[in-house]
Amino acid sequence: MTDLENPMKAMSDAANRVRKQLISVTPEVFQQFLDAQKNLEKAFRPMLEDYARTLKATQSPNVPHFDFPKITLSQFDLPNLSSYLKETVAIAELFQKVIGPAFDQFVESMHALPPRMREALLLLGAHGWFMDFQWTMPQLWALKDGLSEGDVDEAEKELVEHFEERLDAIEISLVEKFPRRAHILRAALRAQRRKEYELSIPVLLAQTDGICKETVNKYLFIREKTRTKPEISVYVEQAFADAFKTALLSPLCIILPIGASQKERLPDAKLLNRHAVLHGESLTYGTQINSLKALSLINYVAHVLEVDE
């Protein structure tokens, strides 16, 4: 499957494939199509011109008492359409053969995209990271391959570099979207820049939950009634039937390590965990990589919940 940066990119790719295939069509074929169109237009022209003259006469303000029985229409024979239609249909079928395969490939690509995206996002979530909407699909696939093929250190190095570079832009975006939280978000990210990760991480995790509640009236880290899913999963399941959107929101629908309870965590678990941080269980969470994982989460949540607005 061709890598797709987004659905619009997929449509562009399909159009380019159609264009390339049309270039291969000979000038003679195009000329046949144009000739068929001109012949059809020529055959109907007398009828259409006569109709236009009659319509103009009946609507003229200078003829308030138009005598309809005295209207005389031009006499001409209706054209024999069979030859024109046969020619036009033949050309249309030819173009369908040219264009059809490209769009079949496009449809196949779009069907394959949601499950592949869901797999990639859940794998990221299992390692404590969340999607940045500035990524292209090829970047997402590369990260997935790195994490799934055991090259976790290299993949996480790329993620650290990416979110460090994006820190200022993410702050601007968060403040613009949630101005009532601006003072708290700015304070957390000031601590982040001072490398005071013990201060920035709890605030970012708490604000992530607050943004979920503010945006869709559901919490991320509170469980729904069965205690098997995050509360926000109810919103996702009820709001979205579209496969692409569902895949994009899939990390919100399961218990990932960051949201695991005390019983669900492994005794030697080292991944960032909200419960362990906010309940004072973890004394070693204050690292650069954990702070950027928290940043990736709040950035993801702030943007993904806008998908259907």
pTM over 0.75: no
* pLDDT of res. 112: 55
Burial code (b: 16+ CB inside 10 Å, e: under 16) for 220-249 equals bbeebeeeebbbbbebbeeebeeebbbbbb
| Structure-token match 């996480």, residue found | 156
Indicate the pLDDT class of residue 151, thresholds 50, 70 and 90: confident
pLDDT per position as a tens digit, 204-220: 999 999 999 999 888 88
User: Residue 258: helix, strand or coil by DSSP?
Assistant: helix
Q: Tell me the pLDDT of the chain averaged across its residues.
A: 77
Nearest to 162 by CA among 130, 196, 188: 130
Indicate the pLDDT class of residue 262, thresholds 50, 70 and 90: confident
* pLDDT of res. 1: 35
Judge contact between 276 and 285, C-beta under 8 A: yes
Instruction: Pick 118 or 60 by higher pLDDT.
Output: 118
* pLDDT of res. 268: 66
What is the mean pLDDT of the segment spanning 235-259? 78
Instruction: Pick 197 or 92 by higher pLDDT.
Output: 197
Q: Is pLDDT above 50 for 106?
A: no
Instruction: Measure the CA–CA gap between 180 and 177, rounded to whole angstroms.
Output: 9
pLDDT per position as a tens digit, 290-303: 999 999 999 999 99
Instruction: Measure the CA–CA gap between 64 and 153, rounded to whole angstroms.
Output: 88
Judge contact between 10 and 102, C-beta under 8 A: no
Q: Is pLDDT above 50 for 113?
A: yes
Instruction: Measure the CA–CA gap between 132 and 235, rounded to whole angstroms.
Output: 21
Query: Hey, which residues does 223 pair with through a beta bridge?
Result: 230
pLDDT per position as a tens digit, 50-95: 666 666 665 555 555 545 455 455 555 555 556 656 666 666 665 5
Supply the DSSP symbol for 30.
Answer: H
| Structure-token match 């995206």, residue found | 117
* pLDDT of res. 3: 42
* pLDDT of res. 246: 80
Instruction: Measure the CA–CA gap between 296 and 113, rounded to whole angstroms.
Output: 22
Indicate the pLDDT class of residue 233, thresholds 50, 70 and 90: confident
Instruction: Measure the CA–CA gap between 35 and 201, rounded to whole angstroms.
Output: 70
pLDDT per position as a tens digit, 10-37: 545 555 555 555 555 556 666 666 666 6
Instruction: Measure the CA–CA gap between 180 and 299, rounded to whole angstroms.
Output: 16
Indicate the pLDDT class of residue 278, thresholds 50, 70 and 90: very high
What phi and psi, each to the nearest 5 degrees, are found at residue 295?
Answer: -65, -40
* pLDDT of res. 2: 37
| Structure-token match 């979920």, residue found | 212
* pLDDT of res. 270: 80
* pLDDT of res. 307: 42
